[in-house]
Amino acid sequence: MSSAAINVGEIIGSSPVSIRRRLANLMATLAAGSAVLLVLAPLGAILAYLLYKGFGSLNWAFLTQTPKPVGEAGGGMANAIAGSAFILLIASAMGVPVGIGAGIYLAEYGRNRFGNLVRFTSDVLNGVPSIIIGIVAYGLVVLTQKHFSALAGGVALAIMMIPTIARTTEEMLLLVPVTVREAAYGLGVSKWRTTLSITLRTATSGVITGVMLAFARVAGETAPLLFTAFGNQYWNWKANQPTAALPLQIFTYAISPFDEWHRQAWAGALILIILIMAAVSAVRIAAGRGMLRGAN
């Protein structure tokens, strides 16, 4: 209470809205406003540069060809785009069910000490730097398989998806009113059926939004792929072989000394951000219109 008393003293102590206080008010407003401008400036600059440089270097070959050797003009990132999709598919196949399952556990059965432990651990997992996840996926998959692979990249990204999906699923399931569940129980529906067909279905759009956020987060991840998927100059559709990925390719090209590669890095970055934004907004629109609720 003492801090509140001090506040009162400070305010009453000064004369009614003096020039000094008005000035302080004005300065604070200006400072906060300019902070907003300063923060938005890099965002604007990044997006502007992406569009400007990206569209300037984007062409049909970029989307359909594999990289050319150093020195040769042309070539593209088609294999990296496909590789990213492949790795993300593997990651989603593992991460989404487990994440949603963990979310269901937390929301429906997790009101106890073990639930709190899982909740805490998933927050811990969420904060682990992505490069560390890469080390673990390397130890788990690459060392046992004896070579870099799409699967290893997928495992790394799946580990990163799980905590995000689990916590958003939990949040969304808890938003479903208890009365809805009780209505189902009252009709004699069993708990598992209620959870899957009533609770989860009511929360579908929220859960899908969470999944997409996790997806968008890992789609641009580079660090955990460096020594798991590793990258590849050619097409690859085998889960146990090194695979190109768009973020990896952008990284390699960005730090290279060749102008041609720099231009391709910008084009790749533009494609990456378009894919992320498109995935997120498409699903948001679909979920918002309730189109995804039809499926059982």
Partner 1 sequence: MANQALGAPRLTGPQPVHKPELTVTAQEQALPLVRPGLSHIADRVFFYAMLGCGVVVLALVGLIVYELITKSSLSWHAFGWKFFFQSEWDPVNDQYGALPFVYGTIVSSILALVIAVPLAIGVAVFITEMSPRWLRGALAFTTELLAAIPSVIYGLWAIFVLVPLLRLYVEPFLSRTLGWTGLFEGTPYGIGMLAAGVILAIMVVPIVSSITREVMTAVPQQQREAVLALGATRWEMIRTGVLRNARAGILGAVILGLGRALGETMAVTMVIGNRPEIARSLFAPGYTMASVIANEFSEATGNLYLSALVEVGLALFLVTIIVNALAQVLVWSVTRGMPARSNV
DSSP three-state, residue 230 = strand
For residue 282, state whether it binds partner 1 (rule: CB under 8 A). Answer: no
DSSP three-state, residue 20 = helix
For residue 4, state whether it binds partner 1 (rule: CB under 8 A). Answer: yes
Size of the chain, expressed as the number of residues it contains: 296
Residue from 32, 73, 178, 295 touching partner 1 (CB under 8 A): that is: 32
Residue from 85, 131, 239, 286 touching partner 1 (CB under 8 A): that is: 131
Residue from 172, 200, 205, 221 touching partner 1 (CB under 8 A): that is: 221
Which span sits near partner 1 by CB under 8 A: 59-67, 82-90, 110-118, 233-241?
Answer: 110-118
Beta carbons of 152 and 228 less than 8 angstroms apart = yes
Beta carbons of 232 and 153 less than 8 angstroms apart = no
Q: How far is the CB of 243 from partner 1 (least distance, A)?
A: 14
For residue 80, state whether it binds partner 1 (rule: CB under 8 A). Answer: no
- Direct distance between the N- and C-terminal alpha carbons of the chain, in angstroms, rounded to an integer: 55
Q: Residue 100 and residue 181: Cα distance in Å, rounded?
A: 18
Q: How far is the CB of 287 from partner 1 (least distance, A)?
A: 17
Beta carbons of 221 and 247 less than 8 angstroms apart = yes
User: Residue 256 has what DSSP assignment?
Assistant: S
Residue from 68, 174, 206, 220 touching partner 1 (CB under 8 A): that is: 220
For residue 254, state whether it binds partner 1 (rule: CB under 8 A). Answer: yes
Please give the single-letter amino acid code of residue 31: A
For residue 210, state whether it binds partner 1 (rule: CB under 8 A). Answer: no
For residue 154, state whether it binds partner 1 (rule: CB under 8 A). Answer: no
